Structure 1
Amino acid sequence: MPAYDPNNIFGKILRSEIPSHKIYEDDVALAIMDIMPRAEGHVLVIPKESARNLLDVSTATLGELIKRVQHVAKALEKAFVADGLTLHQFNESAGGQVIYHLHFHLLPRWEGVPLRPPGTMADDARLAEQAEKIRAVMTPFAG
């Protein structure tokens, strides 16, 4: 497996070199709005640890990270009154990964509403509204 490259877009977001719409942040993880959402409310949860993918993240970080994924998922479901959620996580190009920093996609889902095709940029103001909507219902993380 190739080495982790700290200059990937999520590394830059973690270092505040690139702006993002933050949903949640602590010493383990950052949750942000996906700028090319496949569903309303599409959120990414990324570890602060430099990990290329699921196969090289430390087990300690992974255990704590998945707790944050669940925490954000609960807020997402509530904020968007979703019928369900889809969780995606890709590893290496053959597995569909295009940004080589571990991340989990959380997508609210509704009966009869298909996912949008990938690759369309969202309106920045709309992302800001959605981020605020999620933050407004998020409870404090209890670990």
Structure 2
Amino acid sequence: MTDCIFCRIVSGQIPCAKVYEDDHVLAFLDINPLMPGHTLLIPKKHVETLFEMTPQEAAACGAALQKVAAAVFKGTDAEGMNILQNNYEISGQEIFHVHFHLMPRKSGDGFKVPWPAKKYGPGEMEAVLEKILQAF
């Protein structure tokens, strides 16, 4: 897709700081990192969301994700790692090509993940579970 910035990176029209590449995926440093080493991993084929990927495409991303995350973790002397993947605008997706954020973490890096946990009301968990199980 020619108007997709990630597709233009895959095709070589836009340069990147390449971390990893194989036949199916490309990983490169984010140009607007949250912290040094913040890496993006993308499938080479244009797919907007995780839900549109084939099982084979998802498996290729998963295999590379583990390998790249380990290298980013070790190469940045990280103490932890956040891996984030957003689907659709409501979740924060800004570039509509599947991508995984690999964010190496260090003490005092100032990055916080807000997590406003809530409780289920009476019977709510069971109702949600039933709807999810019916969607398979």
TM-score, with structure 2 as normaliser = 0.78
Q: Equivalences for 1:1-143 in 2 at 5 Å? A: 5-115=1-111
Q: Aligned letter for 1:54?
A: L
Q: Secondary structure at the match of 2:51?
A: coil
The equivalent residue for 2:118 is none
Paired residues, what number? 112
CA shift digits 1:52-80 (9 cap, x unpaired): 01111111110111110110010011111
Q: Aligned letter for 2:9?
A: I
Percent of residue pairs bearing the same amino acid type:
38
What is the distance in 2 between the residues matched to 1:8 and 1:48?
12
Structure 1 segments of 4 or more deviating over 3 A? none
What is the distance in 2 between the residues matched to 1:17 and 1:115?
32
Q: Greater relative contact order (Cα 8 A, min sep 6): structure 1 or 2?
A: 1
Q: 5+ residue gaps in structure 2?
A: 113-136
What is the distance in 2 between the residues matched to 1:71 and 1:105?
14
CA RMSD of aligned residues (A): 1.3
Structure 1 or 2, whichever has the larger Rg, is 2
CA contact (8 A) 1:32 1:43 kept: yes
Q: 5+ residue gaps in structure 1?
A: 117-143
CA contact (8 A) 1:24 1:72 kept: yes
TM-score, with structure 1 as normaliser = 0.75
Q: Secondary structure at the match of 1:73?
A: helix
